[in-house]
Amino acid sequence: MKRIYTITTIIFLCLNSLFSQTTSISGKIISEENNAPLSYVNIGIPNKNLGTVSREDGSFTLKLPREIVEKDTLIFSYIGYETQKIATSKLKTSGNEVILKPAKTYLDEVVLETQELKAKKIGRTNTGLGLMHYNFYTADEKDVDDRLSKELGMNLKLRRNCRLEKFNFAVTSNDFKSLKFRINIYNIKNNEPDSLLISNNIIFELKDKENGWQSVDLDPYNIYLKEEVEEIMVSIQWLESVKAEKDSKYFAIAASQSPFHKVYFRNKAMDSWASQTGSLSMYIDAKCDK
CATH of the domain at 14: 2.60.40.1120
Q: How many CA atoms lie within 13 A of 44 on its CB side?
A: 24
d(C-alpha 133, C-alpha 263), whole Å: 12
1 has pLDDT over 50: no
Same domain, yes or no, for 127 and 173? yes
Same domain, yes or no, for 53 and 167? no
Which pLDDT tens digit goes with each residue over 66-89?
778 777 899 999 999 999 999 988
At residue 76, the 3 state secondary structure works out as strand
pLDDT for the residue numbered 11: 41
d(C-alpha 233, C-alpha 282), whole Å: 11
**Range name among 123-127, 140-144, 203-207, 208-212 with the lowest pLDDT average:** 140-144
156 has pLDDT over 90: yes
- Better pLDDT: 109 or 95: 95
Which pLDDT tens digit goes with each residue over 239-264?
999 999 988 999 999 999 988 889 99
Same domain, yes or no, for 134 and 67? no
Check which CATH number belongs to the domain holding 166 and give it.
Answer: 2.60.120
6 has pLDDT over 70: no
Could you list the residue range(s) of the whole structural domain that residue 67 is in? 2-100
pLDDT-derived band at 175 (thresholds 50, 70, 90) equals very high
pLDDT for the residue numbered 212: 96
Q: What's the CA dihedral at 169, 172, 174, 179 to 10 degrees?
A: -10
Same domain, yes or no, for 86 and 128? no
Domain count, the chain: 2
Sort strands 262-266 and 151-157 into parallel, antiparallel or unpaired: antiparallel
